Amino acid sequence: YDADYLHVYTYKETTLISDAFNQMLGRLKKLDDSRQEFVSNVSHELKTPLTSMKVLSDSLLSQEEVPVELYREFMGDLSEEIERENKIINDLLSLVKMDKTAAAMNIQSENINELIEKILKRLQPLASEANVEVVYESFRPVTAEVDEVKLSLAISNLVENAIKYNRENGWVHVSLNADHKYVYIEVADSGIGIPETETEHIFERFYRVDKSHSREIGGTGLGLSIARNAVVMHRGAIKVFSQPGEGTTFSVRIPINYAG
Ligand code: ADP
């Protein structure tokens, strides 16, 4: 053997190489697991309303004469399931769209006060229906370089949740502030709150606190992952503080200049 070509690895080197290799394998496996989990969650979530629709329509079809009240009740239930399916698909599309355009952020200088006011106006009917008062407080005019569609999606989801998970005659307080570097947006509510053990999970796709209760309120478990994606894509940060039974505050921080 020519000694120049033959490098005999020391025991230490071999261990280092195999450690690095195992680490890489572990990471790849984790990524693959989370993809598989996502796909199986999506399939499950999409199938649930479909199964209900099938049961409802089959049981109507199997009856010779259906009293009109029963017919109405079933059609009402069917309509609700369709609405739920629609919401899941829309949320999924928002997520997928965001993944795809991760590289292509559509950044423009935007008036953030106007952006928030527009969102609150759109959500006012939801708030009125829930008997929740939404108050907006802006500490200064703020202009920042953002992707309007994505940031709006993030804020809408936070405000929508603050209304949904509130109490009768509750309030939502939205505030906007800025310094020379960052925009600060806070969405605080007087709602049901989130137990501390759950706060680390709520940003996961499809995760919902207390399934049975959330089920009543309605949602897909995708809103907060959409919100976090959108904020992270602005190189921002999102945090949650909550006191069960008292309320929850989400705070978002986004750089004023996208390029840094
Ligand atoms: P959903 O479609 O269920 O609202 P999200 O991803 O937006 O999904 O939120 C995940 C879960 O976090 C919700 O199901 C709810 O349990 C909890 N949550 C989110 N926002 C609030 C809030 N403002 N107050 C209390 N719980 C909240």
Question: CA 74 → CA 68, 70, 194, distances in Å?
Answer: 10, 6, 34
SS3 content of the chain, % helix, strand, coil (to 5): 55, 20, 25
Mean pLDDT of the chain: 89
Judge residue 142's burial from the number of C-beta atoms within 10 Å of its C-beta, 0-12 exposed, 13-18 middle, 19 or more buried: buried
**Model pLDDT for residues 90-103, shown as the tens digit of each residue:** 888 888 877 776 66
Q: Is the CB of 227 under 6 A from ligand 1?
A: no
Whose C-alpha lies nearest to ligand 1, atom 19? 161
- Residue 156: name the closest of 209, 59, 217, 222 by CA: 222
**Model pLDDT for residues 144-169, shown as the tens digit of each residue:** 999 998 899 999 999 999 999 999 99
pTM of the predicted model as reported, rounded to 2 decimal places: 0.79
* ipTM entry: 0.98
Main-chain dihedrals φ then ψ at residue 232, nearest 5 degrees: -60, -35
Mean pLDDT confidence for 184-194? 97
Q: Is the CB of 247 under 6 A from ligand 1?
A: no
pLDDT band with cut points at 50, 70 and 90 for residue 206: confident
Q: Is the CB of 194 under 6 A from ligand 1?
A: yes
Question: CA 187 → CA 98, 137, 139, distances in Å?
Answer: 22, 11, 14
pLDDT band with cut points at 50, 70 and 90 for residue 6: low
- Residue 158: name the closest of 125, 197, 191 by CA: 191
pLDDT at 45: 82
Q: Is the CB of 154 under 6 A from ligand 1?
A: no
Q: 242 CA distance to ligand 1 centroid (A)?
A: 12
What tokens were used for 48? Answer: 């649930």
